[in-house]
Amino acid sequence: LKQKIDRMYNGEKINCTENRSVLHIALRAARDKVIESDGKNVVPDVWHVLDKIKEFSERIRSGSWVGATGKALTDVVAVGIGGSFLGPLFVHTALQTDPEAAECAKGRQLRFLANVDPIDVARSITGLNPETTLVVVVSKTFTTAETMLNARTLREWISGALGPQAVAKHMVAVSTNLTLVEKFGIDPANAFAFWDWVGGRYSVCSAVGVLPLSLQYGFSVVHKFLNGAASIDDHFHSTPFEKNIPVLLGLLSVWNVSFLGYPARAILPYSQALEKFAPHIQQVSMESNGKGVSIDGFPLPFETGEIDFGEPGTNGQHSFYQLIHQGRVIPCDFIGVMRSQQPIYLKGEVVSNHDEL
């Protein structure tokens, strides 16, 4: 295991299927770090994009970049699916009630559009004004079927209200296919890159997440999130296994599934700010580990991965906890929070609302 971890951090092509490095750790690395893929340090490329996001988001937030009618762009709709949606939505939901982040987001809205169902389209734009809306289209190849249909739908919404020439002012892209970006009507200068060594489910620290989150909260807030992710990267790489949190969690999963025969895991965060954590982990874990063959392509003689589900406490206590309590054995990850983002102390109550939680 240690050798495989080192191989990942060294930029070796551990993604054998696609013959690629796996370097989402580079997305949050310090500017002076050296992380190589194919003999090239990729960190300067990462910071080139981060600097571009910082500059662009500050222009949008300050009002120096305006829409086609001269109005500031205060509302953002991020269009993407899978890893282009679940990770950014989780972080957005976690930051919404953080006092510093909420202060930075005053007067702004961030919405997400993922499903090709027109109901999701309606929900994402209801109450928004095309004049004040910026659409971020997230698709590495700019060919993802659901994302591009939704992007064309919002392009029609904008051009129908403001004219076709407004698209370049009201739509930007996170993509590497500049040809299709330009053909769509978006200025390639307003396309933000990411790389083949970033798996979609691990892309929240790339422009996929950093751009819409910076537009909402400001780059300085999002940079703190990146620093937190980098600290876990360092912990995972350097900490002995007996104290290594990701390793211990992984070993527990293997033990519970393969030795004890418990196929499911309940993720139970006691914080409403983490309400989108379980769906994010569902993708990160179940899409990664839900394989029927080994790394060499041979059918596996055992079932792989865990069935992840969850709900914030105490809501879950009044729905599925009964099954966990008396019906089936289901390993649970309880996640507690020391201090609430929004503490409440009521006169006459013995404990605070958060302590009651």
Which of the listed residues 167, 196, 226 is the one where a domain comes to its end? 226
Q: Please give the residue range of the domain that contains residue 42.
A: 2-226
Same domain, 217 and 251: no
Q: What's the mean pLDDT when you consider all of the chain?
A: 96
Same domain, 216 and 300: no
| Cα separation, 172 vs 111, whole angstroms | 15
In a domain, 194, yes or no: yes
264-269 β-sheet, strand order: 307-310, 264-269, 332-335
In a domain, 235, yes or no: no
In a domain, 234, yes or no: no
Quick one: tokens of 30? Answer: 């310090």
119 pLDDT tier (thresholds 50, 70, 90): very high
Same domain, 39 and 181: yes
Same domain, 280 and 210: no
Name the pairing type of β-strands 36-37 and 40-41. antiparallel
Same domain, 150 and 200: yes
296 pLDDT tier (thresholds 50, 70, 90): confident
| Cα separation, 37 vs 189, whole angstroms | 25
Quick one: tokens of 100? Answer: 């510093």
Dihedral sign from CA coordinates of 283, 287, 288, 289: positive
| Overall number of domains in the chain | 2
**Which residues does 275 contact at the CB level (< 8 Å), separation at least 6?**
93, 269, 311, 312
Alpha-carbon distance values, 330 to 192, 265, 303, 326, 333 (Å): 42, 6, 17, 10, 10
Same domain, 174 and 257: no
**Which residues does 295 contact at the CB level (< 8 Å), separation at least 6?**
16
Same domain, 81 and 145: yes
CA angle 249, 252, 256 (to 5 degrees): 145
Quick one: tokens of 116? Answer: 């090709």
What are the backbone dihedrals phi and psi of residue 195, each rounded to the nearest 5 degrees, phi first? -130, 165
Domain of 165, CATH number, reads: 3.40.50.10490
The pLDDT assigned to 295 comes to 87
Same domain, 252 and 297: yes
Report the length, in residues, of the chain.
357
8 A C-beta contact, residue 65 and residue 57: no
| Cα separation, 77 vs 71, whole angstroms | 17
Strand partners, 40: 37
* DSSP designation for 297: S
Which of the listed residues 226, 252, 270 is the one where a domain comes to its end? 226
The pLDDT assigned to 86 comes to 97
In a domain, 233, yes or no: no
The pLDDT assigned to 148 comes to 97
Q: Which helix (H) or strand (E) holds 78?
A: strand 75-79
| Cα separation, 227 vs 242, whole angstroms | 24
What are the backbone dihedrals phi and psi of residue 185, each rounded to the nearest 5 degrees, phi first? 115, 5
User: Left (φ > 0), alpha (ψ -120 to 50) or beta: where does 228 sit?
Assistant: alpha
pLDDT at 150 over 90: yes
| Cα separation, 95 vs 91, whole angstroms | 6
The pLDDT assigned to 90 comes to 98
Helices (H) and strands (E) in the chain, counts: 15, 10
Same domain, 152 and 248: no
| Cα separation, 156 vs 211, whole angstroms | 23
Query: pTM for the full model?
Result: 0.95
Same domain, 104 and 74: yes
In a domain, 231, yes or no: no
In a domain, 232, yes or no: no
Same domain, 51 and 114: yes
State pLDDT tens for residues 185-212.
999 999 999 999 999 999 999 999 999 9
In a domain, 236, yes or no: no
Which of the listed residues 226, 249, 271 is the one where a domain comes to its end? 226
Please state the separation of Cα 273 from the chain's center in Å. Answer: 15
Task: Quickly tell me which residue has 């792989």 as its tokens.
Answer: 304
The pLDDT assigned to 17 comes to 87
